[in-house]
Amino acid sequence: MSHSVIIALASPLSWIYWTLVALYGATVLAIVGVVLSENRNPVKSLAWITVLLAMPAIGILLYIFFGRNIKNTRMISRRNKRRLRRNESETAKSSDISALSPAERQQVEMGRVLTGAQFYTNNHVTVFNNGTTKFRSLLADIDNAREYIHVQYYILSDDTTGQRLADALIRKAAEGVRVRVIYDHIGSFGTSNAYFRRLRDGGVEIHPFFRVTFPLLATRINWRNHRKISVIDGKIGYIGGMNIADRYMDGGKFGKWRDTHLRITGPAVGALEYSFAVDWSFMGNPLVTEKTDTTPCGESAMQMLRSGPTSEWSNVEFMMIKAIGNARKRVYIQTPYFLPTEGILRALQTAALARIDVRVMIPAHSDSKILTYASRSYVMECLRAGIKIYFYEAGMLHSKTMMIDDGFCAVGSANIDFRSFEHNFEATMFLYSPEINATLCRQFITDQHDCTRIFQPEWRVRPLGHKVLESLTRLLSPIL
């Protein structure tokens, strides 16, 4: 080593530099150690380690904001949870599972073990396949409210649609109806403060879920409430994939927005009210214990599962895996983002290899290019197993549905991706109803007319650049 190099290494600035490098390296290794020690999904761990080693500076920040684990954090006190569960149990007390097949009974029991979710019979369900009819129905039900209105959305926009909802809620608050609203702070980040102030000034109790402000930015930004639930007077409930924004009506830049939402009357409204009450309490508000109507009014049976980063298990994912495993004839899935976990992917492949008709429909172009490429990275694995893949070409497909055989189906807010199964607070209704299954299957077949079916030969010869982007985004899919 030359004399000049020795002098350079011995200089104060040089020692400071190497000290900082050592500290930086130690920090990266420490975070890698934390990732490994959490014993999380190995695929997800590998994704985080790849990011940390490939771009340490950015990777550390990304992990601080998006990689931390809050599993088993309590959303509500045990005492309050027992109170709400008692109310919910009252609405489900006349329900039984004797009419279900053995496989379906086992699945309902699994839902109870996972979350304590009640099973409800004798409900009436209306299926909405577009935002216009759903929003018109919601406004009509709000206008007829007499006691209370509970509204929860991931996106609450201040555009024409949002203003119409605000007008209706303020009008009912002025009539003495109790109106409570939950919106996600990140999902509704582009909405003006004036919009929320207008609602508060109009007598609406409105709160953001997990408000993201400094210094709470790093501890809250990654865990979003993706649920879309409404309850009116304990008699009517809504659940599905539609938010409150103009694009859910007119399609926005896509020209058409295909989505699915349910209107429910009957005892199962108790499950929606329970979900809203837990989230309301989680934000520090007084416990809401509104009563729900238990009057039977239909023939559909159902069970709603909540899931989120605080859950012990990946509730919705596990129920979907179980449902796919129960399939004997068909599995139809619609999802805007298809980034399946290993469990979901293997369940679908296993079903297809057993000659079950497995079809997955995703948008040809979604509202996220990164997620579009990541979704397409799974196409060949599906095709090789015999899964039929359809790209929806008529606009944005935002529907989140699953239909199994002739009696089971699922509709809710959860996508088939890691974020919905692990990071977001989601709600999915699992229905045991031949009528609703048939309705959703008919819509699926109708949507196929607006799709391009993908086959292996043509997929193999897609541009090399697309293959590279798919591979890169696939590597990061567990943390997208």
Q: Which residue has the tokens 């023939």?
A: 299
**286 preceded by a cis bond (ω within 30 of 0):** no
Quick one: 87 exposed, middle or buried, by C-beta within 10 A (0-12, 13-18, 19+)? Answer: middle
Q: According to the model, what pLDDT value does residue 264 have? A: 98
Same domain flag for 383 and 360: yes
Examine the domain organization and report whether 61 and 82 are in the same domain. Answer: no
- For 361-372, the pLDDT digits (tens) are 999 999 889 899
- 133 belongs to a structural domain: yes
212 lies in a domain? yes
User: Is 275 part of any domain?
Assistant: yes
Do 218 and 89 fall into the same domain?
yes
Asked if 298 and 324 sit in the same domain, the reply is no
pLDDT tens per residue across span 352-391: 999 999 999 999 999 889 899 999 999 999 999 999 999 9
Distance, CA of 304 to CA of 411 (rounded, Å): 10
Query: Which comes out higher in pLDDT, residue 57 or 193?
Result: 193
For residues 255 and 339, state if they share a domain. Answer: no
Q: Quick one: angle between helices 102-115 and 315-326, nearest 10?
A: 170
Q: Is the dihedral of CA 373, 365, 391, 258 positive or negative?
A: positive
The reply to whether 330 and 457 lie within a common domain is yes
Q: Quick check: is 125 in a domain? A: yes
Residues 16, 22: Cα–Cα separation, whole Å:
10
Residue 344's CATH number: 3.30.870.10
Residue whose structure tokens are 């029991």: 109
Is 332 found in the same domain as 285? no
- Over residues 80-93, the pLDDT tens digits come to 555 555 555 555 55
Percent of the chain with pLDDT over 90: 67
d(CA 292, CA 387): 42
Evaluate whether residue 29 is within a structural domain. yes
Residue carrying structure tokens 């299954």: 437
Q: How far is CA 93 from each of CA 112, 267, 296, rounded to the nearest angstrom? A: 14, 9, 12
Q: Which of 56-65, 114-123, 371-380 has the lowest mean pLDDT?
A: 56-65
Residue 431 counted as domain residue: yes
Least confident stretch, 84-88, 123-127, 370-374, 432-436: 84-88
Residue 253 lies in a domain: yes
User: Average pLDDT of 399-424?
Assistant: 95
Residues 162 and 230 occupy one common structural domain:
yes
Mean pLDDT, the chain, whole residue set: 86
The tens digit of pLDDT for each residue in 46-55 reads 555 565 566 6
Sign of CA dihedral 160, 161, 164, 166: negative
Burial zone of 145 (CB within 10 Å; 0-12 exposed, 13-18 middle, 19+ buried): buried
Cite the active site residues: 226, 228, 233, 398, 400, 405
Segment 188-198 shows an average pLDDT of: 96
Q: Which residue, 302, 331, 355, sits at the end of a domain?
A: 302
Of 213 and 91, the structure prediction assigns the larger pLDDT to 213
Tell me what the mean pLDDT of segment 336-347 comes to: 96
pTM over 0.75: yes
Query: Pick from 247, 269, 302: which residue ends a domain?
Result: 302
Residue at a domain's end among 302, 328, 353:
302
Q: Is residue 308 part of a domain?
A: no
Q: Which residue has the tokens 């020692």?
A: 15
Task: Identify whether the C-beta of residue 440 lies closer than 8 Å to the C-beta of residue 409.
Answer: yes
462 lies in the same domain as 419 = yes
Structure confidence at residue 215 as a pLDDT band (50, 70, 90): very low
Pair of tokens at residue 49: 């380690």
Residues 226 and 348 in one domain: no
Same domain, 437 and 352: yes
Query: Given pLDDT bands bounded at 50, 70 and 90, which one contains residue 136?
Result: very high
- At residue 125, does pLDDT exceed 90? yes
Q: How far apart are CA 301 and CA 478, in angstroms?
A: 34
Measured over the CA atoms of residue 466, residue 252, residue 260 and residue 317, the dihedral's sign is positive
Question: What is the number of domains present in the chain?
Answer: 3
Per-residue model confidence as pLDDT tens digits over 231-290: 999 999 999 999 999 999 999 999 999 999 999 999 999 999 999 999 999 888 888 888
Residues 304, 426: Cα–Cα separation, whole Å: 10
Q: Domain containing 388: what range?
A: 315-479
Do 443 and 372 lie in one domain? The reply is yes
At 55, the amino acid letter reads M
Q: Percent of the chain having pLDDT more than 70?
A: 77
